[in-house]
Amino acid sequence: MAAGLVMGQSSAGHSLALRPFAAVTRPVRRRIAAYRRVGPRERVGERALERLQRREERRLLGLARGDSEVCWPSAEREPLVTVRIATYDRGPLIVERALASVLRQTYERLEVLVVGDCCDEATERAIRSVRDDRLRFVNLPARGTYPTDRRLRWMVAGATPMNAGLLLARGAWIAPCDDDDEFTDDHVEVLLRAAQADRLELVHSRALLETERASWRIAGGPTLAEGVSHGSILYSAGLRFMRHSTTSWRRFEPSDWNLWRRMQAIGVRVGFLDRVTYVHYLGVYKNPGASERGPSVSPLQRGRVPDSIESLPSGPEVQVPVDHGSSRAPSEEVIHPPPPRG
């Protein structure tokens, strides 16, 4: 074998390919470089700040619960659920994918709240073209402040409109969704019923995760430490005092994972639903004109989303046919940090 090459097997298990060693190790080297940009003082300071905040968050959780074991603002069987989507420069893709999946939910009592991070005109125009009384769009006048380093920025970008969404939400439950991902049609309904049945304040499920173009695996597990997609969660609006951190990059931790970990640390009642309710795509950045050629064809639209790991044909990864003539452009690399630890 030529020096500097690595032999690999495809996820389908039937083809071999040679990849330069540098290409294989590049994502790891980039992550290490980004981690080194976070100084020891910043990491220690962020941990100390989080410990101080934890005391106050525990106190607020107790106040939100009152005499109950859960902090539910409403005990209705059919409460209003706010689907919160933060966006910046996604363009028509947010309508074709995220909003389309939200508006076809089997659970109908929804508020669909889209908060723009001072988003661009194309994105605003696409959102305002949707005619549905459940949709509410708020565009912030200024974008949040994030790190200049691309990897560190990825960890917290969108935290500002997400926090604004918590203040604006009218629902008793919050269902986050990324602007380039999609829900399964029963996402809200099955997560809400699971939370009600077990008296949970947060419930999470598995997600179908795109690992590379047209290649997917099921992510998530019974514990949050196994990793959870941002949109595969439903939680009580009684927890709205818990905000997304805009500085969790100092712990080299995405703001959503940071939030779920902090919730668990103060004693939030957490449960797991063992089924796929969310489809998480590779990040798509700066896709000029892509959406104009037609909406993406997703595994969800093809009816290929498995309910659980047991329903996969073999192994944790499966090839899902995707129309390569569709609107999707080549995706940028997405960094998946290790699961958060205490």
Tens of pLDDT, residue by residue over 237-274, are 999 999 999 988 888 889 999 999 999 999 999 999 99
Q: What does each C-alpha distance from 70 to 188, 232, 278 come to in angstroms?
A: 19, 20, 25
Q: CB of 241 within 8 A of CB of 65?
A: no
Nearest to 240 by CA among 303, 133, 165, 139: 165
The rounded distance, in Å, linking the Cα atoms of 342 and 340 is 7
In a domain, 332, yes or no: no
Q: Compute the C-alpha angle 253/87/188, nearest 5°.
A: 80
Q: How many domains does the chain have?
A: 1
In a domain, 28, yes or no: no
pLDDT tens-digit profile of 134-191?
A: 999 999 999 999 999 888 999 999 999 999 999 999 999 999 999 999 999 999 999 9
In a domain, 15, yes or no: no
Q: How many CB atoms lie within 10 A of CB 251?
A: 21
Domain CATH for 96: 3.90.550.10
Q: Structural domain of residue 61, as residue ranges? A: 37-319
pLDDT for position 35: 52
In a domain, 122, yes or no: yes
In a domain, 170, yes or no: yes
pLDDT tens-digit profile of 91-108?
A: 999 999 999 999 999 999
In a domain, 269, yes or no: yes
* Predicted TM-score (pTM) of this structure: 0.76
pLDDT for position 226: 79
Q: What does each C-alpha distance from 141 to 32, 71, 116, 119, 157 come to in angstroms?
A: 35, 32, 9, 9, 16
In a domain, 289, yes or no: yes
In a domain, 298, yes or no: yes
Binned at pLDDT 50, 70 and 90, residue 317 comes out as very low
The rounded distance, in Å, linking the Cα atoms of 160 and 115 is 9
pLDDT tens-digit profile of 30-83?
A: 555 555 566 666 666 777 778 888 999 999 999 999 999 999 999 999 999 999
